[in-house]
Copies of this chain bind each other. A is one copy, B any other.
């Protein structure tokens, strides 16, 4: 049983820095593209045997130190009775815009609404057979709410912000409903076998600190608090959140995920220690020649050297579809052979 990743998350001593990769199962892998030639993205998410297969692909190829459930952050929206499609970005059939839309949301238990997610978790755990731990995930309530309200990709996020400021009561109602669902959804992933969870806060960074605390952090905390009794490491990953670090100190998580914008030592100082950090190589670095991949990965490792609570190596954002396999191999080698970890 390899528990390197879990020990690093808990700030326990490790013999080397563990590594996994955001979107490690995905379009840069030929074996993933082979599966996707036969099924569309949503069918893949909803078919446990296939979702499990692609979850395992990067573990088999690179021997990464953690697997992460293959799914999408919109998947649990089905439990609210919301239908969506990918075209290729997510598009909601009927966005949530006002109090009546919020009142109309379904309350289907996630186990009934999206049973395939938990079946995928069970299959992956069985097939991993202890080779690597499995991470479950969900969006933070605010980030899921951004998708539910905007209904599709948005440059300015004007609809969600209008809702927060024009009708905060409805925004809070929506966020409470989503937080309740998200906590149940993640507890069900843990019950099915997920050994750590990551809460993705992809849109936290569009907010100023006061709005972030009121509408985003508050509900992320509620979800993370609900997971505490389960005892698995909780990773909170907010993108573009350099201006929110003081608020993130209050987050009940063991690990804070970091994008590439702020060096890990500076993040650690701003957070006042107390968290293991995960990150934060710029995914664009993997498009550079091998020696640059190695050099930049070493820079990340060097910035992480003095961290009080340990380091999980990762990219600062999802791996790009055009990434050469050789770059990932070089990255994994570089991190594996590094001996600066505590």
Contact = CB atoms under 8 A, between A and B. Distances in A.
Contact of A284 (B161, B210, B289): B161
**Tier of interface size on chain A:** 20 to 34
B243 A261 contact: yes
Contacts of A282: 161, 208
A172 to B, nearest CB: 16
Interface string A260-286: 111100100000000000000011110
B158 A320 contact: yes
Contact of A262 (B158, B240, B243, B296): B243
A320 B289 CA distance: 40
Q: Considering residues A242, A263, A320, which has the most beta carbons from chain B within 10 angstroms of its beta carbon?
A: A242
Given A161-B284, A284-B161, A208 B166 contact: no
Contacts of A296: 165
A263 B156 CA distance: 19
A292 interface: yes
A292 B166 contact: yes
A-side binding surface: helix, strand, loop or mixed? helix
A157 interface: yes
A2 interface: no
A162 B243 contact: no
B208 A284 contact: no
A12 interface: no
Interface of A: 156-158, 161-162, 165-166, 205-210, 240, 242-243, 260-263, 266, 282-285, 287-289, 292, 296, 317, 320, 322
Given A162-B287, A243-B261, 20 more contacts: A156-B317, A156-B320, A158-B283, A158-B287, A158-B322, A161-B284, A161-B285, A161-B287, A162-B288, A165-B292, A165-B296, A166-B288, A166-B292, A205-B240, A207-B261, A208-B261, A208-B262, A209-B266, A242-B242, A243-B262
